A and B are shown apart, each in its own frame.
Chain A
Amino acid sequence: MTTEVLTSLPRRRPLARRRLLRARPAIASLLARRPAEGVLLFVVFSIGYITVAGEMVSHQIIFADAVSRVANGYFVLFSRDPHLPAVGFVWNPLPSLLLLPVLPLRGVFPVLVRVGFAGNLESALFMAGAVVLLSGCLARLGLPRGLRLVLVTLFALHPMIITYACSGESEAMLLFFLLLTVRSLLSWLSQRQPGQLVVAGLALGLAYMSRYEAVAPALAVTALVASVTLLTGRGSWSLRFRLALNDAALVGLPFLFAFGLWAVSSRLLVKQWFPTFSSEYGNAAQVNFGKSNITQATGTDLLSALRYAAEQLTGLEPLVLPLLIAAGVVAARRRDWLAIAAPAVLGSLLAFNNLAFLVGASFGWLRFQIAVIPLAVLLSGALLRPPQHTGNTHIGPARPPSEPANQPVENSTATEGRLRRLVAVPLVLLALVAAVPVSAWTLTSHSLAREETQTMLAAVSPGLANDEDRRHLLINQTEQQVAADLDAMRLPDSTVLTDSAFAFRIVLASTHATQFIITSDTDFQPTVTDPAGHQVRYLLVPEPDKAPSDALQRAHPGLYEKGGGIATVVRTWRGTSLNGDWRLLQVGA
């Protein structure tokens, strides 16, 4: 065709301009609608959590696992051998990977790296996001706005939630992805759109990339989705069976992919399928090493372990069991299946963590019970949801459109409503409010909150703290001194060999990270075997009984004490904290 024809045509207004004209009301209506509430919640709690996190860090309340996640990201970008696999394979990588865009700001804000504040920012933002998602879950349960905001606030201000919003550890990220799963599962249970399973599936995959215990909710949700489709679909059994398989694939494949990807990458790069369990730096090794400490606090037999776990759970949510029973009874009576979403996701996680603890494969930290808090809030939501809302959402063949959705079944509806307002709402709120002081007490309990108490006590109420508690506040001090002294020596690149599984605080605190040859460097192993042959000048090693798997000392027994025949001790830093002493050895001298 010719250009003349084109120009003689009735040309419409150019598309781009027309779209602009249309865009304006769209933006206005977008702002007028609900997202504003979510944005507001997010902004308020982000600012709140970040402020508290800043306070915590300035009081030296710093959690080791948080700093180590920042270090793993830092090694990827700024070690002497920057490469992506430096992120490490012992811990699931998402918390460190998401920090990569932030870490280059270390020049402007050194605190991001030096004390790992980037991690605290991350956990604060994810926990604020979790608050928004929880509100979304409660909205899907049909809770009126006022009640919903009260419940959300009780969650957001729960002492344990505040602690882990600010700690920099990966709990917030895990809760974020799990609540996203709950939210899309609630949507799916009432609307059955395949796209909602996609969101749930992706959330579970990302949850696994944050924490390996997400394997439990992933399996539980896949099973739940398959059974719901199988039991409530229409059509022949064989069609329903295949639909169930398709839905299970939809919700389960992203997790399976994440699981396989992580295992295969680990196998390819560190020759182990699941280093968390098999590595000498992994969870299993650490638990074994800490065994006596663990059993000292939690008891040796199954019964006392069971009691310990129950105390932790009730220490965070004292009335979770009554809530669970009441929600179960109400949901069964109303045939309201939405109530099952939260127990499937969060309950399965708790079951997994506690089972791991009971069989002696876990430290039994208090934070492994954190999911009980959103679970209690969501159970409350299921308990308090207005009955007329359950009409549309019970599982089963869709109602024909001619049939009214909420026909008054009996006269009891009005009485039930009054009962709910006057009895159920106050009781449930009381149960959640009670959790605040109880969990505040739990967090200061030496036996239940073994990880958190000492630092928190020493910083917040020094009067209650003992000497050992106070040593927790100095957790970074020795390492910062070591880093400062090494920096002052102005050593060239690649001259200090150290196992960064233990020295990560020193590498982070140093202004000259490339002087260190660290565990993630591709030439680390050969250099450990023959430091002199690789032009290494100094070896930096931690006290042996604090670091049983230090690679240098395993390769050269007696290194710490006498130099292991390859080096001589030139300097010792007396450890002020529980991390113990550090020694610098000169190679060959």
Chain B
Amino acid sequence: MSAHTVLSRGQRLVGAAVLALLVAALVYSPQGALRAVMALLTLVYTLSLGYRLVLVNRGLRGEHLIRISDEDALDLTDEELPVYSVLVPAYKEPDVIANVIGSLAALTYPCSKLDIRLLLEADDEQTISAARRSLPPDAPITIVLVPPGEPRTKPKACNFGLQGATGDLVTIYDAEDHPEPLQLRRAVLALRRLGNDFACVQAKLGYFNARQNLITRWFTVEYANWFGILLPGLVAVGAPVPLGGTSNHFRADLLRALAAWDPHNVTEDADLGIRLTRLGYSIGVLDSLTEEEANSDFVNWVKQRSRWYKGYLQTWLVHMRHPVTVHRELGLRGALGLHLFIAGTPLTTFLNPVFWTLVLVWFVQQPAWIALLFPAGIFYLALTCFVIGNAAIIYTNVLTTRVMHDPGLLGAALLVPLYWVMMSIAAVKAVFQLIWAPSYWEKTSHGLHLDRTDIAPLAPQTPT
């Protein structure tokens, strides 16, 4: 089950059949066909919105955010702690590599139990030499050179790094991450307390450069909403949790048995989360923050976001190769999460501009053809979804700034509709790229919070 091919043969057949049916319907009765499509899309929107509000409601109760106190985390003696493998994949990031050493040194964990593996591409001379330069001789850090070869993706590097890892537990950090110092200890305790049903805990991700500009403010609110409210909500309703790209802490044996990450999926983390849920394992969300660098540049942001959306769609398609099996394994509520959250998020974002345009045109000149597209009941449902749905999502952001105790972001929370436009641009890009270049990894450049002149030019990547 890899995203090496986007569609299975069965899916291609079904897709072609649906497309043919749609074309036939459009020819036979254009108005009826379009009405049916609108009704279906309105239904998808309504369900996605309803699902999201349920998640907010459940996530807000905070029952499913796993909290480990400082005292408990520090009480663990060196003997009690397992060996911990920390994978740090990096590619063409000579500027931030020194940071890795700094923030990993800040981790409160005995050196003898740490197995930090810096995963560098064998032909990435710049980063390798930067790493060799800044590496202290006695640090528990191994430089692992990943042999070049396609696909050149983060999950492939991680799989390679996992092979020699000696830890009982494994986690991933990006080069620019600042994990909270007690995070590894909290994860050890969390997994120990949660028992064998839990395969993984995901730490919360946040940003250290929230105040750099409006984009980073939006991004920060979004992440706080995602990791602080929505993911605990998913845990609460028993739906699969799409893991974030870093700071997920696994049991190593289980991860190996699962064959770890899918090197062809561009959101290998989300895919892994669903695979774990399908096998009956649970994922917890750990109340410990890893600070990353928020993408502050518009183009760079769109690239990163389009990769995520593409990955979510890939993931959904991969798991829907055997729809019956998936539904049996996930149960109804879990499957709802897969459809409405994993596929629903990019899909509704992709369709948003269409509906925004329709609403705008409708209010400006009320043309009859729009009225014809919507049967009465569907029209009111769509209108309610548009008006109440958008207001509810803005309100959720206002709630998020309060929950994260950062009221300075209130302005960004209220302006979030502009951020949605950016999301939609990314979603459109994602959908087209899914068709033309499914495994192309949109590299996110880091270090944009540093002085720009320090950054080496980014070499363009070749699509696979």
- Which of A's residues lie within 8 Å of B, judged by CB? 1-3, 5-6, 8-16, 18-19, 82-84, 194-195, 197-198, 239, 242-243, 245-247, 249-250, 253-254, 257, 261, 268
B402 and A194 form a contact (CB under 8 A): yes
Give the docked Cα–Cα distance between A15 and B405 (Å): 35
Distance to closest chain A CB from B425 (angstroms): 27
B380 at interface (Cβ–Cβ under 8 A)? yes
B281 and A84 form a contact (CB under 8 A): no
Given contacts A15-B334, A249-B410, contact A5 B329 (CB under 8 A): no
A239 and B331 form a contact (CB under 8 A): no
Closest to A239 in B: B407
Besides A16-B330, A245-B407, A246-B398, 18 new A-B residue pairs in contact (Cβ under 8 A), listed by A number: A1-B262, A2-B1, A2-B259, A9-B258, A9-B279, A15-B238, A15-B282, A15-B329, A15-B331, A19-B238, A19-B331, A82-B376, A84-B380, A195-B61, A197-B402, A246-B402, A254-B395, A268-B363
B residues less than 8 Å from A1 (CB atoms): 1-2, 258-259, 262
Which residues 278-313 of B have a CB within 8 angstroms of A? 279-282
A residues less than 8 Å from B376 (CB atoms): 82-83
B358 at interface (Cβ–Cβ under 8 A)? no
A13 and B410 form a contact (CB under 8 A): no
Distance to closest chain A CB from B84 (angstroms): 22
Q: Please count the residue pairs between chain A and chain B whose beta carbons lie under 8 angstroms apart in the complex.
A: 87
Distance to closest chain A CB from B271 (angstroms): 10
B408 at interface (Cβ–Cβ under 8 A)? yes
B257 and A10 form a contact (CB under 8 A): yes
Given contacts A1-B258, A198-B399, A250-B402, contact A14 B1 (CB under 8 A): no
Give the docked Cα–Cα distance between A15 and B60 (Å): 23
A15 and B280 form a contact (CB under 8 A): yes
B2 and A12 form a contact (CB under 8 A): no
Closest to A17 in B: B331
Closest to A249 in B: B398
Give the docked Cα–Cα distance between A255 and B330 (Å): 39
How many B residues touch A, CB cutoff 8 Å?
Answer: 38
The 5 closest A-B pairs by CB, nearest first: A16-B331, A12-B280, A246-B407, A242-B407, A1-B259
Q: Which of A18, A250, A261 contacts B280 (CB 8 A)?
A: A18
Question: What 1/0 flags go to B220-256 for Cβ under 8 Å of A?
Answer: 0000000000000000001000000000000000000
Give the docked Cα–Cα distance between A12 and B387 (Å): 43
Q: Is the interface of B mostly helix, strand, loop or mixed?
A: helix
Give the docked Cα–Cα distance between A268 and B387 (Å): 14
Give the docked Cα–Cα distance between A3 and B1 (Å): 7
Question: What 1/0 flags go to B385-399 for Cβ under 8 Å of A?
Answer: 001000100010011
B395 and A8 form a contact (CB under 8 A): no
A residues less than 8 Å from B330 (CB atoms): 15-16
B residues less than 8 Å from A12 (CB atoms): 197, 279-281
Q: List 26 A-B contacts (CB under 8 A).
A: A1-B1, A1-B258, A2-B1, A5-B257, A6-B275, A6-B279, A9-B257, A12-B280, A15-B238, A15-B277, A15-B280, A15-B329, A15-B330, A16-B332, A16-B334, A83-B376, A194-B402, A195-B399, A198-B399, A239-B407, A243-B402, A246-B407, A247-B402, A249-B414, A253-B398, A257-B395
A residues less than 8 Å from B387 (CB atoms): 261
Question: What 1/0 flags go to B361-376 for Cβ under 8 Å of A?
Answer: 0010000000000001
Give the docked Cα–Cα distance between A361 and B376 (Å): 38
A residues less than 8 Å from B405 (CB atoms): 243
A residues less than 8 Å from B408 (CB atoms): 242
Closest to A194 in B: B402
A residues less than 8 Å from B348 (CB atoms): none
Question: What 1/0 flags go to B123-156 for Cβ under 8 Å of A?
Answer: 0000000000000000000000000000000000
A250 and B277 form a contact (CB under 8 A): no
Given contacts A14-B328, A14-B329, A15-B277, contact A250 B398 (CB under 8 A): yes
Closest to B57 in A: A195
B residues less than 8 Å from A9 (CB atoms): 257-258, 279
Q: Which of B258, B328, B363, B410 contacts A246 (CB 8 A)?
A: B410
B202 at interface (Cβ–Cβ under 8 A)? no
B280 and A14 form a contact (CB under 8 A): yes
Given contacts A3-B1, A194-B402, contact A245 B280 (CB under 8 A): no
Give the docked Cα–Cα distance between A12 and B275 (Å): 13
Give the docked Cα–Cα distance between A343 and B305 (Å): 49
A250 and B238 form a contact (CB under 8 A): no
Give the docked Cα–Cα distance between A329 and B3 (Å): 71
B331 and A246 form a contact (CB under 8 A): no
A residues less than 8 Å from B258 (CB atoms): 1, 5, 9
Closest to B322 in A: A3
Closest to A19 in B: B238
B residues less than 8 Å from A261 (CB atoms): 387
B residues less than 8 Å from A8 (CB atoms): 257
Closest to B253 in A: A10
Distance to closest chain B CB from A77 (angstroms): 11
Give the docked Cα–Cα distance between A242 and B277 (Å): 40
Given contacts A84-B380, A243-B407, contact A253 B402 (CB under 8 A): no
B74 at interface (Cβ–Cβ under 8 A)? no
Question: What 1/0 flags go to B1-18 for Cβ under 8 Å of A?
Answer: 110000000000000000
Question: What 1/0 flags go to B181-207 for Cβ under 8 Å of A?
Answer: 000000000000000010000000000
B residues less than 8 Å from A3 (CB atoms): 1
Distance to closest chain B CB from A244 (angstroms): 8
Distance to closest chain B CB from A520 (angstroms): 15
Distance to closest chain B CB from A7 (angstroms): 10
A residues less than 8 Å from B415 (CB atoms): none
Given contacts A8-B257, A195-B61, A242-B410, contact A250 B1 (CB under 8 A): no
Give the docked Cα–Cα distance between A15 and B277 (Å): 8
Give the docked Cα–Cα distance between A80 and B405 (Å): 53
Give the docked Cα–Cα distance between A13 and B275 (Å): 15
B76 at interface (Cβ–Cβ under 8 A)? no
Distance to closest chain A CB from B384 (angstroms): 10
Give the docked Cα–Cα distance between A261 and B391 (Å): 10
A residues less than 8 Å from B410 (CB atoms): 242, 245-246, 249
B171 at interface (Cβ–Cβ under 8 A)? no
Give the docked Cα–Cα distance between A198 and B403 (Å): 11
Give the docked Cα–Cα distance between A84 and B387 (Å): 15
B residues less than 8 Å from A14 (CB atoms): 280, 328-329, 331
Closest to A253 in B: B395
B42 at interface (Cβ–Cβ under 8 A)? no
B residues less than 8 Å from A194 (CB atoms): 60, 399, 402-403
A residues less than 8 Å from B60 (CB atoms): 194-195, 198
Distance to closest chain B CB from A326 (angstroms): 36
Distance to closest chain A CB from B149 (angstroms): 18
Q: Which of A6, A239, A242 contacts B1 (CB 8 A)?
A: A6
Give the docked Cα–Cα distance between A181 and B396 (Å): 19
A residues less than 8 Å from B280 (CB atoms): 11-15, 18
Distance to closest chain A CB from B420 (angstroms): 18
Which residues 326-342 of B have a CB within 8 angstroms of A? 328-332, 334
B residues less than 8 Å from A197 (CB atoms): 402
B85 at interface (Cβ–Cβ under 8 A)? no
B349 at interface (Cβ–Cβ under 8 A)? no
B401 at interface (Cβ–Cβ under 8 A)? yes
Give the docked Cα–Cα distance between A42 and B131 (Å): 69
Give the docked Cα–Cα distance between A243 and B407 (Å): 5
Distance to closest chain A CB from B412 (angstroms): 12
Among A11, A18, A197, A246, the one with the most B-chain Cβ atoms within 10 Å of its Cβ is A246
A250 and B399 form a contact (CB under 8 A): yes
Distance to closest chain B CB from A17 (angstroms): 8
B residues less than 8 Å from A15 (CB atoms): 238, 277, 280, 282, 329-331, 334
Distance to closest chain A CB from B268 (angstroms): 11
Closest to B401 in A: A246
B residues less than 8 Å from A82 (CB atoms): 376
Give the docked Cα–Cα distance between A1 and B256 (Å): 11
Closest to B394 in A: A253
B residues less than 8 Å from A254 (CB atoms): 395
B residues less than 8 Å from A13 (CB atoms): 280
